[in-house]
C-alpha cells in the first residue's frame, strides 16, 4: 500500500500512496488488465474491504475513526525500488481504526505514463490488529495484499500477499513480513524493517528507515538492503516531504528500465 502510517508515522508509505486530477487533458484510458486469478482477487478483496468499512463505520461512531488522504509523489519507491519506473504518481488512501485495535486500509494509485497519460498503477489492501501493552509498546500484526499493473515495470502485471508482525514504540517501529510467493510463484520472502521519527522543531519531522530482505527460490538465494531518510514539514493537514532512498537491486520482476539505486523523492500528502 502506499505508505502505511501507524504509530511511528514513518511513512513514505505508501506505504503507495490520490487524486488523479493532476492531468487536465481528457480522461485517459485506464489500464486494468491483471495477470492471473490471484491478481483479480486483489480487486475483489479491495471492494469487500471498502464495503466493510462503509458498513462498520456508522455502527460505532464514538469508538472508531475513519480517514481519507490524497498524495502526490514524484516517484513511488518501495523497499528501495521504483514501482512507477521513476514517474510521478497520485494515490488515494482510505483507513479505518477501531478502538479495540482492529484497523483496515485501502489504497489506489495512478501513474503518469509516458504514452498513455494517467493510468492505474496498483491497489493495496491491509487488515491488522494493534494491541497496546502495559510497557507502552504496541504489538502489531496483519495481512497485506498488493497488485500492480504493467505500468509498474513496463513488462507485466504482478501481485503478492504478505503477513506481518511488529513492535511499535513512540519514536521507533519494527516489522517483519513474510510471503510464500513474493511477486513470482515459488519465491519466499522475509523482509525486516526499522522505522523511526524525530521532531527537531515544531511542525518538522525527520524520518529514517532501514530494511533487509531475504529472497529464496529453487534456483537462487538473494539478500538485499535498502534505506531512506526524509524531512517532513507539517502545514496544517498537509505534509510536504523530501526524501532520499537507496536500494541495492531492481524490483524482483523483470523491468525494461535499469534500476536507479539512489533517488530523491518529493511527496505531498493531505489528510481530510
Could you report the per-residue pLDDT of 96-149, keeping only the tens digit for each?
999 999 999 999 999 998 888 889 999 999 999 999 999 999 999 999 999 999
pLDDT at 4 (0 to 100): 42
Which residues neighbour 51 within 8 Å (Cβ) at sequence distance 6 or greater? Answer: none
Which residues on neighbouring strands pair with residue 188, listed in sequence order?
A: 216
Residue boundaries of the structural domains of the chain: 37-271
Residue 168 has pLDDT above 90, yes or no: yes
pLDDT for 22-67, tens place per residue?
222 333 333 333 444 444 444 455 455 555 544 554 555 556 899 9
User: Tens of pLDDT along 226-271?
Assistant: 999 999 999 999 999 999 999 865 554 544 445 557 899 999 999 9
Question: Which CATH number does 37-271 carry?
Answer: 2.40.160.40
Whether residue 153 contacts residue 184, with contact meaning beta carbons closer than 8 Å, is answered with no
φ, ψ (nearest 5 deg) of residue 120: -60, 130
Query: 212: pLDDT confidence band, cut at 50, 70 and 90?
Result: very high
Amino acid at each position: 500500500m502506499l505508505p502505511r502510517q501507524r504509530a511511528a508515522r514513518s511513512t513514505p508509505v505508501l506505504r503507495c500512496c490520490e487524486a488523479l486530477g493532476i492531468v487536465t487533458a481528457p480522461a485517459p484510458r485506464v489500464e486494468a488488465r491483471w495477470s492471473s486469478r490471484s491478481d483479480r482477487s486483489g480487486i475483489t478483496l479491495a471492494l469487500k474491504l471498502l464495503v466493510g468499512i462503509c458498513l462498520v463505520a456508522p455502527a460505532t461512531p464514538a469508538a472508531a475513526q475513519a480517514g481519507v488522504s490524497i498524495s502526490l509523489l514524484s516517484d513511488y519507491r518501495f523497499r528501495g525500488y521504483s514501482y512507477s519506473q521513476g514517474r510521478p504518481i497520485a494515490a488515494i488512501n482510505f483507513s479505518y481504526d477501531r478502538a479495540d485495535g482492529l484497523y483496515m486500509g485501502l489504497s489506489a494509485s495512478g501513474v503518469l505514463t509516458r504514452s498513455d497519460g494517467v493510468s492505474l498503477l496498483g491497489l493495496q489492501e491491509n487488515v491488522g490488529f494493534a494491541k497496546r501493552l502495559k510497557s507502552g509498546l504496541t504489538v502489531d500484526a496483519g495481512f497485506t495484499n498488493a497488485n500492480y499493473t504493467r505500468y509498474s515495470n513496463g513488462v507485466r502485471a504482478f501481485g503478492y500477499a504478505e503477513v506481518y508482525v511488529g513492535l511499535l514504540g513512540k519514536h521507533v517501529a519494527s516489522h517483519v513480513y513474510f510471503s510464500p510467493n513474493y511477486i513470482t510463484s515459488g519465491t519466499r520472502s522475509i523482509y525486516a524493517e526499522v522505522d523511526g521519527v524525530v521532531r527537531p522543531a515544531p511542525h518538522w519531522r525527520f524520518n529514517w528507515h532501514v530494511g533487509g530482505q531475504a529472497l529464496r527460490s529453487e534456483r537462487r538465494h538473494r539478500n538485499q538492503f535498502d534505506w531512506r531518510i526524509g524531512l517532513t514539514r507539517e502545514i496544517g493537514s498537509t505534509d510536504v516531504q523530501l526524501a532520499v532512498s537507496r536500494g541495492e537491486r531492481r524490483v524482483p520482476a523483470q523491468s525494461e528500465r535499469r534500476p536507479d539505486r539512489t533517488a530523491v523523492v518529493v511527496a505531498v500528502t493531505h489528510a481530510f
